[in-house]
Amino acid sequence: MRAKRSKKYRKLMHQYELTFGFREPYQVLVDSNFLHAVHSFKMDLIPALERTLQGKVKPLLTKCSLEAMMTSQPLNPRTNNPIRPEHLPPPTILPLRHCSHNEDSTPIDETACLLSLLSPSTDVKRNKEHYILATADPPGAEKAANSSANTNSSAGKKRKRGVDEGEVALQQSRSLRRAARAIPGVPIIYVKRSVMVLEPMSMPSEDIRDDVEKGKFRVGLNDEALKKKRDATGDANKKKKPLKKAKGPNPLSVKKPKKRVAEKAGPTKQEKLSKQPPNDGGDEGQERPEGGDSAAPKPKRRRRHNKGAKKDGDDGDHAPSTGAEGAASADMN
Ligand SMILES: [Zn+2]
């Protein structure tokens, strides 16, 4: 199961890389609910994120998220400062993301802060900084769910108030995720029952991905055009080689004239051969081919005979037929 899921997440992050330009280390904006859930399920923040995203991560906590965590903390009676929450990792593990939303740069609502970082421009929703959102249902919602699961009707006002608070917190966290899904190219991690989950691509993200895929197809066509050009240049390079090969047949064409010359000047050669008895006498093998050569023309002339016999009526005007007969007669002799 785990291997299957990790493969799925790796594939998903690869799509985010191809479509939206995500790169490792992935910048992960973690919110207060996420940190609470990670702590309550005794997860190790960075290893858990890296297992989920299948790559190196750089978690970040916005100033407004930190403020949200601190305001809910009881004050230290000595320093009168809020006690550092247990679920807040040290800055070495979780550095602060300095955000400024107003002139005083006073912290704003955590959800509004995160959404403004995920999509700085309200006109065009775009995750310019390639942030990943890591969130979770609020702990209040868990308690509410547990209490409702227990179905204690005798809980009274206290339980009711808890449910209301939990519901409000739950609605806020749900609205954060819903708004984050509306921004194309925002991977969303959330903790669900002690399991860190990477959400499938939202519809706006999928739409962009499909457009990019189409664009890739066009790019692919361009690539093919480039390949054709490369092939053309390759052909040009190859053409040089065939030219060299074309020079090869020339010797053959040179040989043919020799044969023709031999046929035409057969008698002279024979005369030459007759004039060169030592060579002939030295190589008996050469005499046999010569005999073969002399035998080879004979069938040709016989064919001419046949043709002439068949086409006597047609080739009646042809004087060569008589010449061929004469040649045949010469051969016969
Ligand atoms: Zn902020």
21: nearest Cα among 209, 190, 188:
209
316 CA distance to ligand 1 middle (Å): 110
Q: How confident is the model at residue 135 (pLDDT cuts 50, 70, 90)?
A: very high
Query: Residue 111 pLDDT > 60, yes or no?
Result: yes
Domain ranges of the chain: 1-74+84-142+168-211
Distances, alpha carbon 22 to alpha carbons 6, 129, 186, 210, 261, in Å: 18, 9, 10, 17, 78
CATH for 1-74+84-142+168-211, among 3.40.50.1010, 1.10.3720.10, 3.40.50.1000, 3.90.1150.10?
3.40.50.1010
Cα 68 to ligand 1 centre (Å): 10
Q: Is residue 329 predicted with pLDDT exceeding 60?
A: no
Ligand 1 midpoint to CA 63 (Å): 5
Q: Is the dihedral of CA 249, 252, 254, 257 positive or negative?
A: negative
Peptide bond into 25 cis (omega under 30): yes
Question: What is the whole-number distance in angstroms between the Cα of residue 60 and the centre of ligand 1?
Answer: 12
E strand map for 79-222: 96-97, 131-136, 188-192, 195-198
Q: pLDDT for 243-302, tens place per residue? A: 555 656 677 776 665 555 555 544 554 554 454 555 444 444 444 444 444 444 555 555
Between the two ends of the chain, the Cα-to-Cα distance in Å is 98
- Burial tier of 12 (Cβ tally within 10 Å: 0-12, 13-18, 19+): middle
- The Å distance, Cα 165 to ligand 1 centre, comes to 23
φ/ψ of 75, rounded to 5, equals: -80, 145
86: exposed, middle or buried (Cβ count in 10 Å: 0-12, 13-18, 19+): exposed
Eight-state DSSP code of residue 62? E
Q: What is the pLDDT of residue 225?
A: 57
pLDDT tens per residue across span 79-104: 989 999 999 999 999 999 999 999 99
CA of 94 to the centre of ligand 1 (A): 15
Selection from 38, 177, 175, 23 nearest residue 94 by Cα: 38
* Ligand 1 center from residue 66 Cα (angstroms): 9
Per-residue model confidence (pLDDT) at position 229: 58
Question: For residue 331, how far is its CA from the centre of ligand 1 (angstroms)?
Answer: 112
